[in-house]
Structure 1
Amino acid sequence: MPKINASTVAEHRAQQREALIEAAVDILVNEGATAVTPAAVGARAGLARSSVYQYFDSSAALLATITEEAFLRSNEALTRALATANGPLEHVEAFFRESLRLGAEGAHRPAAALMDAGLHPACQQRLRELHLEQVEPFRAAVRELGVPEPALTADLIAGMLHTALAAVEHGAPLDAVTTRTLALVRRCLTPADSTAHGSRAGH
């Protein structure tokens, strides 16, 4: 039985559950969803399979929890980043900047692996719901800016974010990718008349 490194049983159980989730995420990202089993997760976390069943009664339960956790942690970081932004354009920029930072840390890898995992339909639906909830602050900011066809514009700009994330995850410098991406986002979301005015003012 693992040694209790906590002041209370409840704290110990929380630590064990966290260790199991981290082990499950590690297996998911590196070996795929089919490898996420109670036995494999227990072995990776250093716990007996019987101990794993105290927290998760199946592979499906493990994957469902990973689905929730993958977005919960990113959402908390995004919420903190957006809290310091003023105005819709700054909200978009903060969302992109923090998303890229999280991408550089590998925070998006569990969600990406889940999307390609062929999950149960209910889990796939929950994954889509969580994704829509996560991007809603960005989409709301685009709507607030009053750009033409805001839904399409948000989709197109989100494509830039996905490309930038791929670049960062493949080793491109985070600062350089962030700077270039935000410059392009500002050009896309700044009204043409203000851009023209700024150009005239510079002459």
Structure 2
Amino acid sequence: MPKIDAATVAEHRANQEDALLAAARELLLNGGRGAVTPAAVGAAAGLARSSVYKYFRSGEEILERIVGNAFEDWATVVRDAVDAVDGADQRIAAYVRTSLALAGSGAHQIAVLGGGVPQDDRARERIALAHSGLAAPLCEALTELGDPDPALTAELIDGAIGRAIDRLDTGADFRHIHTLTLTFVRRAVGIGGTEPAPG
């Protein structure tokens, strides 16, 4: 029986899977989608290609997992930031602020680089669910403000954030983009306050 480096076989498998996913994320960030193959992921994690197939059927499945995880992680960070403040206006500001901070840190690159992967129905459903969950805290705050169509308004705000992220990706100054985007959103939804430039 192969040696395991954990208290149980299940824990060992979970650790190995985490190591493979971490290696795949690094390969994706450094080499793009084409770099994520079972052989390359196994080599980066210190495992044979045959061992990788015990956890994933293909490079596409590995990509699906890391993209899905990226959406879920992003949603969790945004939700925690929104839940940490009081008042709908502050929650909307926290949503915008945290989304831009995550983009500025490069956290969105996994989803960008791993996009367009052929997905089975289960993978598509998981990623769609995670993606739809991203805007849930924003929709809730807009509903509290009495917005007549919070889902549409959230989409419009996310569109503005998306354009801001595009600018960040081309090297625009983060402080400038952050301040202008939040000012725009505040005006669009009719909430007051000013936003100091981030440190």
Which TM-score applies when normalising by structure 1?
A: 0.77
Q: Which residue of 2 aligns with 1:136?
A: 136
Q: Which residue of 2 aligns with 1:120?
A: 119
Q: 1:70·1:108 contact (CA, 8 Å) conserved in 2?
A: yes
Q: CA deviation at 1:158?
A: 1.3
Q: Which residue of 2 aligns with 1:58?
A: 58
Within 2, Cα distance between the matches of 1:126 and 1:7?
29
Q: CA deviation at 1:57?
A: 3.3
Within 2, Cα distance between the matches of 1:174 and 1:12?
41
Deviations 1:76-131 (A, max 9, x none): 2112211212122211111111111111111111112333x242252334322211
Q: 1:92·1:138 contact (CA, 8 Å) conserved in 2?
A: yes
Q: 2:75·2:130 contact (CA, 8 Å) conserved in 1?
A: no
- CA distance 1:152–1:72, shift in 2 (3 Å): closer
Matches within 5 A, 1:90-101: 90-101=90-101
| Secondary structure of 2:165 counterpart | helix
4+ residue segments displaced more than 6 Å: none
Q: Aligned pair 1:25/2:29, yes or no?
A: no
Within 2, Cα distance between the matches of 1:39 and 1:55?
13
| Secondary structure of 1:17 counterpart | helix
Q: CA deviation at 1:32?
A: 4.1
Unmatched runs of 5 consecutive residues or more in structure 2: 194-199
**Percent identity of the aligned residues?**
40
Deviations 1:128-181 (A, max 9, x none): 221111111112222321234433322222111001112223322323321221
- CA distance 1:40–1:7, shift in 2 (3 Å): closer
Q: Which residue of 2 aligns with 1:43?
A: 43
Q: 1:27·1:36 contact (CA, 8 Å) conserved in 2?
A: yes
Q: CA deviation at 1:49?
A: 1.3
User: How many residues matched?
Assistant: 189
- CA distance 1:175–1:98, shift in 2 (3 Å): same
**Structure number, greater radius of gyration:** 1
